[in-house]
Structure 1
Amino acid sequence: MSDHVDGPRSIGDPAADITDLFAFTSPESPARTVLTMDVFPSAGEDAMFSNIIDYAIAVRRVSVAGVGNAAKFQPEADEIRFSCRFETLKRDTAGKAIQYGVCKLPDGRELSLTVNDEKGTSTPEGDVRVFAGLRSDPFYLAWDIAILKKLPNLLQHTNVLCIVVELDTHRVLDPAKGSLFGAIAETVPPQKRGLLGPAISRIDWIGRPEQTNMRLNNPAMSEIDDLRDLWNQQAPFAISKALQPLFLQRLKDSIATWDMLDGRADWTPEAIAATANVFLDDFLLFDVAKPINDESHLEIEKSTLSGRPYQTGGGRSIDANSIDILLSWLVNNDREFLQGGATGATKLGMKVFPYFATPNTELQTVTESVELAAAPDDVWSLIGQFGGAWHPLTARINLTGAGIGQLRTMLTLDGQQTVERLEAIDDEKRFLRYTHIAGMAVSHYTGTLEVKPKGSGSVVDWRAQFLAANATDRAMKVKVSTLFKTGLESLKPRFGAAK
């Protein structure tokens, strides 16, 4: 998923897990360029930036050093770096939790940040403006890419933490010296030697989308070693020469696999080798002297590999369909555009700063029911007890307190523990309502269980509303739905299914 959850190490530290990198011309002003890194896949509403991680976007001027099968993009040694660091949470004057940070600019100036302040912070000179905060995830994936099966957007309603750097193109990048650039983003932990060995040089980094999850760890390839953590430890713009043959061979094998996924060969061995060489030098290419739009993503690479001058500014805009653009190239060499099961992210980007859409806050709903042959009171006598262990996935239940406000701590057979609180119960109406306290990746969770008469029997309705937190809506809906269905289906042998 672009760069979401791209290896064991980043999965274990979501605040340092980079999801995406963007480079585009500001919709507000053609004289300004926007660089953005997103982190924290499926961020919950309370997600915050790590206080021990440097979040950095680095840009280097690039020249075209070869075309056709000798295509090569050569970065310069000088680097234009924006590095943000954040503090622990504090309380504002109203007692609300708030996070502050500092963004260090390439010339050493520092900008103070208040997380989630939509106005962002600008330098006194107005040449740089920075925003940091929670936004709707602009990435969308609508494929089971291993088999090219179309799906709905797998990241619908998810959020990310976003760092937006908007800059005066001429004052900061000085395109008169060359207008083609390569950008990377990285998350760097403290460089102190640990008790168990040397310091980790970085947790995650990204150049072009999908280097790790689709090219190095191609899901269509079976029985391959996961190279993603090894790749993420490489220095951007300077991949280890000793490891280059390993990565290069994987890239070749991966492109060859993608080529045959539709059963038709569209790539020559020479073209595969040349493209793999370009991907090995992994940075997001953008040219500030040419137009960057939703269709220009990867055009610089494609044109240069084809031996012709590129026509656009490449880069990656917020609404660029990066997955379908990439799949169409890898699978059939752009013979046919492959459109997935969605045509856009949950929300489109905005035309005004900070450009990325506001966070998703819509409660998601799961509803399941079962019709039974037994009378409603008989069914309620079993499932209407808040502490009842009638659910087949329950290993143990502990109750704390009594009546409204009672807590139940449930341990399931797979070792998961959840804590829920009783908010309302009506035995006459055979209804109860509860909220989730801890244990699942959700917030604002409210569940209801109700038994109503239907014909000569009854119907049981189980319903929940929630926001997913640190998990996708799709994953949480499947988890909650499975829990409900399993419980409701277990009632049929006890009370008989309605006929």
Structure 2
Amino acid sequence: MMSDHVDGPRSIGDPPADVTDLFAFISPENPVRTVLAMCVFPSAGESAIFSNVIDHAIAVRRVTVAGVGEAAKFQPAHEEIRFSFRFEVLERDAAGNVIQRGTCTLPDGRELSLIVNDEKGASTPEGDVRVFAGLRSDPFYLAVIASDLRRVPNLLQHDNVLCVVVEFDTHRLLNPAAGSLFGAIAETVPARSPAGNVSHPVARIDWVGKPEQTNIRLTNPGLRGAEDIRDLWNQQKPFEISKELQPLFLQRLKDSFADWDMRDGKADWTPEALSANANIFLDDFLLFDVAKPITDESHLEIEKSTLYGRPYQTGGGRTIDANVIDILLTWLVNHDRKFLQGGATQATKPGMKVFPYFAMPNTDLQSVDDCVELAAAADAVWSVIGQFNLDWHPLVAQVRLTGAGTGQLRRIETRDGGEVVERLEEVDNAKRLYRYTLVAGIPACHYTGTIKVTPRGDCCVAEWSVQYQADNQPDIVVRARVATLLKTGLGSLKSRLEVRHDPNH
């Protein structure tokens, strides 16, 4: 469960179209302006770019409270206020730098040109709208295992996403005098193409309203054997869920909420309240009121108050630093009886109070290190692991070498069917050390590995260290893969060279 990250087979197969999150809040640097933002491309690497065949859109409709208590209902208007982004193929600017340009089409038809990753963004001549698009630190954090509510560190630590941000004059674009409550959705829609003889274009790839509709509410891991209906949901038209499919989705929500209620072994919801809750979440859009304060804690307050049958006090919405997972799970599991704090209290980086609000992308190199002490002479150990062919490693099925000395390439076929290509950058037999870099095969960049052997009395220590940045895969996944590589390799030397572990490592 990762907000709207990887929320169905279709979006998993097309990461640039995967909408991960949606935000709506009042600008902390200018309270007369509203900020809407969406993120795509989970675990985006430094080379990630926006798709040039997809429209990225944030749509807003005015909403009225049409019922309270067990009849709680939010009714969206038909008129839509839409901000749509279209991005171009890469090009080079006058200085030779590779850039990506984009265009944001505003609700009134005006077009605003921008350059991806331009920190200043782009503004209309009138100054009423400012937009940004680029790579930023992922503002979402997940620090609980759904199956048993176990607290863990943030599973998205060090991850990045692509973000689009729209900041605008609230009164000019939303006219809150006609009603200050709104619902927002974000979606990715394929560029229009003519229908074929035996097919028709996909309506949309992904969309999100409230966080976790797909990965927690519709695809509850506690519902054993339940079919995955996330792609079916993502094909629905936001604000207008198919009447034919509403019963299917509603029943799934009811079953899911009943299961979440019992996840702590205690029933906190009546059947009637669970049904009302399901009705509220079936109409999936992010509610925000621009006339009331939107804070890090106000997420879902509008829905909760309306279900309780009382006027809401905040602007709801979702700020960049809102703890949406713990807020949602506390509501579902124990009806806000006791706050369920996960194992992290913030994302990798907190949001900023100034435009473009999302923190700079994570660029720090990550490190994985391992070592083992061997009851053997350093030269004897180096004669085994100092060879670039890596044939001593139990995970290696075959290695093909190209070239010799510095610059030599090794093409590794792993026993699980994978392939990794690495280049020798430095070898120093006197110091019993060699350094290599990754060419391909691991979802990482700036990847450098070092293997060395150091004498220690009659024994020696074999060390293996890797530095990297995850690239289009979660850091936690890349780290686990690298750690397994190092641990398995060094661990295999115990039997080969009669080793014993260094108690200090």
Q: Distance in 1 between matches of 2:118 and 2:395?
A: 44
Alignment-derived partner of residue 79 in structure 2: 78
Q: Provide the TM-score with structure 1 as the length reference.
A: 0.99
**Correspondence 1:55-70 to 2 at 5 A:** 55-70=56-71
SS at match of 1:459: strand
Alignment-derived partner of residue 171 in structure 2: 170
Q: Distance in 1 between matches of 2:386 and 2:226?
A: 50
**Correspondence 1:34-49 to 2 at 5 A:** 34-49=35-50
The amino acid across from 1:211 in the alignment is: Q
Q: 8 Å contact 2:390–2:396 — kept in the other structure?
A: no
Q: Distance in 2 between matches of 1:98 and 1:421?
A: 29
Aligned counterpart for 1:397 among listed residues 396, 399, 412: 399
Q: Provide the TM-score with structure 2 as the length reference.
A: 0.98
Q: Distance in 2 between matches of 1:141 and 1:461?
A: 33
Alignment-derived partner of residue 31 in structure 1: 32
Q: 8 Å contact 1:191–1:200 — kept in the other structure?
A: no
1:117 corresponds to 2:118: yes
Q: Distance in 2 between matches of 1:191 and 1:70?
A: 39
Alignment-derived partner of residue 161 in structure 1: 162
Q: 8 Å contact 1:457–1:498 — kept in the other structure?
A: no
Q: 8 Å contact 2:391–2:398 — kept in the other structure?
A: yes
Q: CA deviation at 1:383?
A: 1.1
**Correspondence 1:457-472 to 2 at 5 A:** 457-472=459-474
Alignment-derived partner of residue 311 in structure 2: 309
Q: Distance in 1 between matches of 2:457 and 2:278?
A: 66
Change (3 A) 1:195 1:19: farther
Q: CA deviation at 1:220?
A: 2.5
Q: Distance in 1 between matches of 2:465 and 2:94?
A: 38
The amino acid across from 1:157 in the alignment is: H
1:211 corresponds to 2:213: yes
Change (3 A) 1:439 1:194: farther
Q: CA deviation at 1:374?
A: 1.6
| Residues 195-217 of structure 1: per-residue CA shift (max 9 Å, x gap) | 76221111100000000000001
Change (3 A) 1:407 1:211: same
Runs (4+) off by over 6 Å: none
Q: Distance in 2 between matches of 1:56 and 1:15?
A: 14
SS at match of 1:304: helix
Q: CA deviation at 1:191?
A: 3.1
Change (3 A) 1:454 1:347: same
Q: CA deviation at 1:93?
A: 2.2
Q: CA deviation at 1:419?
A: 0.9
Q: Distance in 2 between matches of 1:428 and 1:208?
A: 60
Q: CA deviation at 1:145?
A: 1.5
1:4 corresponds to 2:5: yes
The amino acid across from 2:340 in the alignment is: L
| Residues 151-180 of structure 1: per-residue CA shift (max 9 Å, x gap) | 000011111100000010000000011000
**Correspondence 1:418-437 to 2 at 5 A:** 418-437=420-439
SS at match of 1:490: helix
The amino acid across from 1:270 in the alignment is: E
| Residues 79-129 of structure 1: per-residue CA shift (max 9 Å, x gap) | 000000000111122222110010000010000010000111111111111
The amino acid across from 2:462 in the alignment is: V
Q: CA deviation at 1:491?
A: 0.9
Q: CA deviation at 1:411?
A: 1.1
**Correspondence 1:191-230 to 2 at 5 A:** 191-192=192-193, 193=195, 197-230=199-232
Q: Distance in 2 between matches of 1:146 and 1:443?
A: 33
After superposing the two structures, state which structure 1 stretch, 264-273 or 409-418, moved more: 409-418
Q: 8 Å contact 1:191–1:201 — kept in the other structure?
A: no
Q: Distance in 2 between matches of 1:223 and 1:376?
A: 55
After superposing the two structures, state which structure 1 stretch, 489-498 or 35-44, moved more: 489-498
Q: CA deviation at 1:194?
A: 5.0
SS at match of 1:131: strand
1:184 corresponds to 2:192: no
SS at match of 1:314: coil
Alignment-derived partner of residue 101 in structure 1: 102
Q: 8 Å contact 2:91–2:100 — kept in the other structure?
A: yes
Q: CA deviation at 1:221?
A: 2.3
Q: Distance in 2 between matches of 1:166 and 1:119?
A: 12
The amino acid across from 2:256 in the alignment is: S
Q: CA deviation at 1:34?
A: 0.1
Q: Distance in 2 between matches of 1:47 and 1:190?
A: 19
Gaps in structure 1 of 5+ consecutive residues? none
Alignment-derived partner of residue 259 in structure 2: 257
Alignment-derived partner of residue 285 in structure 1: 287
Q: Distance in 1 between matches of 2:371 and 2:386?
A: 15
| Residues 279-325 of structure 1: per-residue CA shift (max 9 Å, x gap) | 00000000001000001000000000000000000000011110110
| Residues 450-496 of structure 1: per-residue CA shift (max 9 Å, x gap) | 11122322211100000001111111111100011111111111101
Q: 8 Å contact 1:87–1:101 — kept in the other structure?
A: yes
SS at match of 1:95: coil
After superposing the two structures, state which structure 1 stretch, 370-379 or 197-206, moved more: 370-379
Q: Distance in 2 between matches of 1:15 and 1:97?
A: 19
Q: Distance in 2 between matches of 1:410 and 1:340?
A: 40
| Residues 331-352 of structure 1: per-residue CA shift (max 9 Å, x gap) | 0000000100000011111111
Q: Distance in 1 between matches of 2:391 and 2:226?
A: 44
Count of paired positions: 499
Alignment-derived partner of residue 478 in structure 2: 476
SS at match of 1:328: helix
Q: Distance in 1 between matches of 2:425 and 2:305?
A: 62
After superposing the two structures, state which structure 1 stretch, 194-203 or 178-187, moved more: 194-203
Q: Distance in 2 between matches of 1:418 and 1:94?
A: 35
SS at match of 2:490: helix
SS at match of 1:172: helix
Alignment-derived partner of residue 495 in structure 1: 497
1:145 corresponds to 2:146: yes
Alignment-derived partner of residue 274 in structure 2: 272
The amino acid across from 2:188 in the alignment is: T
Aligned counterpart for 1:385 among listed residues 381, 387, 393: 387
RMSD: 1.0
The amino acid across from 1:320 in the alignment is: A
Q: 8 Å contact 1:216–1:250 — kept in the other structure?
A: yes
Q: Distance in 2 between matches of 1:348 and 1:429?
A: 43
Q: Distance in 1 between matches of 2:100 and 2:286?
A: 30
Change (3 A) 1:406 1:195: farther
Q: CA deviation at 1:219?
A: 1.8
SS at match of 2:171: helix
Aligned counterpart for 1:407 among listed residues 394, 398, 409: 409
| Residues 259-283 of structure 1: per-residue CA shift (max 9 Å, x gap) | 1111111000000000000100000
Q: 8 Å contact 1:128–1:167 — kept in the other structure?
A: yes
Identity of aligned residues (%): 70
